């Protein structure tokens, strides 16, 4: 499915100056905001290509109301999925970590719609047509008014964040936030809310493939 050593990739979270720590803080701030905005209602979360789940699980770790959250995390790497599962055990939230292919629509059957969809660490690893395909399909993962949190680096000519933001608009989303530090760091975090119609999950689809 992917040949990159994603366990090693996660080590950069602890490395000074990698930018990943700041990106994580920005993602978690958006998760916390969504939790606050929806309190005390239940919150359903889906995270595609969740890695070790540190964004959601870390945000929930500090919350007294984590028990109103149910989440479905999809990750293909066994070690990372196992780590996410262990971290989830410490939380009162109902977290399911599914080891599988997040690109296949069938994997989400029974676990959507969600009120918060995390698409973090995906758009920098797939082609532009695949990014567009994922965004077009995003309403299938979303409940009415759901928010999608996504990330993408902004490296020079390969900065497609403007297009990504317009593709979200085309797919029925309004922009809630776009965080792009004015520094040497090239990460960005976007948040889009579904204002258009929700869509039924279309089974049998494959939305993306990682380059490497
Ligand atoms: C860049 S990392 C991002 C991890 C996490 N979302 C984060 O932001 O920290 C990409 C992750 O996607 C996983 N991955 C790649 N292709 C996948 C697929 N088709 N289905 C599920 N997980 C996949 C990798 O194993 C890796 O953990």
Annotated domain spans of the chain: 19-194
CA of 53, closest atom in ligand 1: 5
Closest CA to 199 of 147, 141, 148, 146: 141
Distance 40 CA to ligand 1 centre (A): 30
Q: Could you tell me what percent of the chain has a pLDDT over 70?
A: 99
Residue nearest atom 12 in ligand 1 by C-alpha distance:
49
Which CATH superfamily, name and number, covers 19-194?
Vaccinia Virus protein VP39 (3.40.50.150)
Mean pLDDT taken over the chain: 95
Residue 50 CA to ligand 1 centre (angstroms): 6
Closest residue CA from atom 6 of ligand 1: 50
Residue 1 has pLDDT above 70, yes or no: no
Does the CB atom of residue 189 touch ligand 1 within 6 A? no
* 80 contacts 7 by C-beta, under 8 angstroms: yes
What strands, in cross-sheet order, belong to the sheet with 114-119? Answer: 94-99, 69-75, 43-48, 114-119, 142-151, 189-194, 173-179
Q: What is the pLDDT of residue 116?
A: 98
């Amino acid at each position: 499915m992917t040949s990159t050593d994603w366990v090693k990739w996660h080590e950069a979270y602890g490395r000074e100056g990698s930018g990943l720590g700041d990106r994580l803080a920005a993602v978690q701030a958006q998760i916390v905001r969504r939790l606050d905005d929806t309190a005390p209602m239940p919150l359903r979360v889906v995270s595609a290509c969740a890695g070790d789940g540190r964004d959601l699980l870390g945000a929930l770790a500090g919350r007294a109301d984590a028990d109103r959250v149910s989440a479905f995390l999809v990750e293909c790497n066994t070690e990372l999925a196992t780590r996410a599962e262990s971290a989830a055990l410490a939380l009162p939230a109902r977290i399911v970590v599914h080891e599988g292919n997040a690109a296949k629509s069938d994997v989400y059957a029974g676990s959507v719609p969600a009120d918060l969809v995390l698409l973090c660490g995906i758009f920098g690893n797939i082609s532009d047509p695949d990014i567009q395909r994922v965004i077009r399909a995003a309403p299938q993962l979303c409940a009415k008014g759901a928010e999608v949190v996504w990330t993408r680096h902004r490296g020079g000519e390969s900065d497609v964040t403007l297009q990504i933001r317009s593709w979200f608009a085309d797919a029925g989303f309004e922009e809630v936030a776009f965080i792009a530090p004015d520094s040497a760091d090239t990460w960005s975090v976007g948040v889009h809310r579904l204002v258009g119609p929700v869509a039924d999950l279309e089974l049998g689809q494959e939305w993306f493939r990682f380059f490497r």
